[in-house]
A and B are shown apart, each in its own frame.
Chain A
Amino acid sequence: MGDKTMTADEAVSRLESGMTLGIGGWGSRRKPMALVRALLRSTITDLTVVSYGGPDVGMLAAAGRIRKLVAPFATLDSIPLEPHFRAARESGSLELMEIDEAMFMWGLRAAANRLPFLPVRAGIGSDVMRVNPGLRTVTSPYEDESTGGYETFVAMPALRLDAALVHVNRADRAGNGRYLGPDPYFDDLFCEAARTAYVSCERIVDTAELTKAAPPQTLLIKRLNVSGVVEAPGGAHFTSCAPDHDRDEAFQRLYASMPWPEFAGRFLAGDEQAYRTAVEAWHEEQT
């Protein structure tokens, strides 16, 4: 098995402007924030971001890196509205493909299964169809036994990704990844839907340690879908990464209330180590 370990900056150096990028996690939960911070240090821009949106979307939008967003929502969970996503939408600077949560999942599934679309009931009758004039419908070739009719569904197009970024609790050097919290979210699906995937983790461990005493169903990510492994302790900060760390609610409140240039200047000007040091210093000031 090849050693795929690399730094966050090395992972990002393999990405290009204009790519379609899937970002794992959900809202403000287990987001690959260290990889997002590395993206912010790079000059990569003009991205199509595909995400169950949280501060990943907010930060990239605030920094002007997103051309188009594909998402059912953007939220900080404990703070319902993502401030920078809001600002981007209200200033008209963000192209949006707004779809339902389930449509989003089926779009990733279609891509993972190399299908052009999958039929979904969700979306019919809603304004998702109005604001996405490119969405098409598909009619069942089978007669419905109860009605004698032929139902028409949304043909949810595959959400194919050039690259996926996800963060898990543990991984080995080959790219096998394990989650330890209550929810896998859709990180395996993001990796399957992508040409390349970069997995950051709280800790890299030997394969034997990764699988020892692990219920097999927690082994979420398979190495054949992974191009790079990044060890990033606290790499989901300030989102939650149970059980390794909870969401940093105080810091999230700061993120949501501080003007972006000030936040970026204070916390994002240096590397990941500088970020951690700056966060610690801020916490100390609060006590």
Chain B
Amino acid sequence: MSAVPGANPGATSGAAPGAPRSGVTRSGVTRAEYCVIACAEAWRGDGEVLASPMGLIPSIGARLARRTFSPDLLLTDGEALLIGPDGTPEGWLPYRQHLALVTGGRRHVMMGASQIDRFGNQNISCVGDWERPTRQLLGVRGGPVNTLNNPVSYWVPRHSARVFVPKVDMIGGVGYDSAAAAGPTATRFHRIPRVVSNLGVFDFATGDRSMRLASLHPGVTVEEVAAATGFELTVPDDVPYTREPSPAELRSIREDLDPKGLRDREVKG
């Protein structure tokens, strides 16, 4: 494993070698659309579980996954109703039942992260010293219960060294090192399948469960990712590009799921 200039696109995707370095590739697919695909892939193979996307692009991704390769996923309206693929309510999920469902484990959430570190510890609580933060954010919310009970992926729309930090200021979402240190109660159901950013996809498929570059969005280089990451990432010899959307997926994103193009406001290019 070493840092390789550029990425080898031949590994798993059909991305054109030498794709232009701007956000839009030769195929006309935007960066936001690659992000949608990368988020959707988080729920592949999950079966009949609740998909809980937080943020716009994860929401488009989860709905895309359900219409294509993960048809049994459950999704809510963002409040208390479970909504079927055709928009018809199919069930009730108020907060109290949602919290019970979390602990039952049949859920895969994609949360945001104001900070995330090398082992997947996540912070949306505050920046600086917890006793007197320089910047108070939301609070831990459901990070602790989510990470100890069901798979938790993360979405970062603006990849930077301020987000990808060596150590988070307040651990809400539990990372692999923290879970291991806390013992079997913490590790038993703990899993962080992936982190998706505007630059690429990351996972923890390494010996020490530290973060690894899993794929680059077409147009992004390894150097760009390294420069925007505040810790040393594991970079495989061959880094694939995030896969291309199929024509049907692209049509679905553009015409049905996000016809107004709101995704381009979350991720430019």
Whether the Cβ atoms of B94 and A72 lie closer than 8 Å is no
B56 within 8 A of A: no
Please pick, from B134, B138, B148, the residue contacting A90 in the complex, using a CB distance under 8 A.
Answer: B134
Whether the Cβ atoms of A128 and B140 lie closer than 8 Å is yes
Whether the Cβ atoms of B178 and A151 lie closer than 8 Å is no
Main secondary structure, interface of A, reads loop
Please pick, from B134, B142, B188, the residue contacting A102 in the complex, using a CB distance under 8 A.
Answer: B142
Q: Which residue of A lies closest to B126 (CB)?
A: A89
**In the complex, which of the residues A98, A124, A126, A189 has the most CB atoms of chain B within 10 Å of its own CB atom?**
A126
Please give, as numbers and ranges, the residues of chain B lying within 8 Å of A194 by CB-CB distance: none
Please give, as numbers and ranges, the residues of chain B lying within 8 Å of A149 by CB-CB distance: 184
Whether the Cβ atoms of A122 and B186 lie closer than 8 Å is no
Question: Can you list 20 contacts pairing A with B, beta carbon distance less than 8 Å?
Answer: A72-B139, A73-B140, A80-B138, A86-B135, A86-B136, A90-B133, A100-B141, A101-B141, A102-B102, A121-B145, A121-B149, A122-B148, A124-B148, A124-B182, A125-B148, A126-B171, A131-B130, A182-B92, A186-B95, A186-B96
Give the size of the chain B interface in residues (CB under 8 angstroms).
Answer: 47
Please give, as numbers and ranges, the residues of chain A lying within 8 Å of B134 by CB-CB distance: 90
Whether the Cβ atoms of A153 and B185 lie closer than 8 Å is yes
**In the complex, which of the residues A120, A121, A151 has the most CB atoms of chain B within 10 Å of its own CB atom?**
A121
**In the complex, which of the residues B102, B139, B170, B174 has the most CB atoms of chain A within 10 Å of its own CB atom?**
B139
A99 within 8 A of B: yes
**In the complex, which of the residues B79, B126, B136, B171 has the most CB atoms of chain A within 10 Å of its own CB atom?**
B136
Known contacts A121-B185, A125-B179, A81 near B144 by CB under 8 Å? no
Q: B190 to chain A: closest CB distance in Å? A: 8
Q: A124 to chain B: closest CB distance in Å? A: 5
Please give, as numbers and ranges, the residues of chain B lying within 8 Å of A73 by CB-CB distance: 138-141
Please give, as numbers and ranges, the residues of chain B lying within 8 Å of A103 by CB-CB distance: 144-145
Which B130-171 residues have C-beta < 8 A from chain A?
130-145, 147-149, 170-171
Q: B96 to chain A: closest CB distance in Å? A: 6
A75 within 8 A of B: yes
Please give, as numbers and ranges, the residues of chain B lying within 8 Å of A105 by CB-CB distance: 96, 99
Please pick, from B94, B125, B126, the residue contacting A183 in the complex, using a CB distance under 8 A.
Answer: B94
Docked complex Cα distance between A85 and B137 (Å): 9
Which A114-135 residues have C-beta < 8 A from chain B?
120-128, 130-131
Whether the Cβ atoms of B94 and A182 lie closer than 8 Å is yes
Q: B130 to chain A: closest CB distance in Å? A: 5
Please give, as numbers and ranges, the residues of chain A lying within 8 Å of B186 by CB-CB distance: 121, 124-125
The 7 closest A-B pairs by CB, nearest first: A73-B139, A125-B182, A122-B145, A182-B80, A102-B145, A125-B186, A89-B136
Whether the Cβ atoms of A151 and B184 lie closer than 8 Å is yes
Q: Which residue of B lies closest to A92 (CB)?
A: B132
A152 within 8 A of B: yes
Docked complex Cα distance between A130 and B183 (Å): 16
Q: Which residue of A lies closest to B132 (CB)?
A: A92
Which B50-100 residues have C-beta < 8 A from chain A?
79-81, 92, 94-96, 99
Q: B92 to chain A: closest CB distance in Å? A: 8
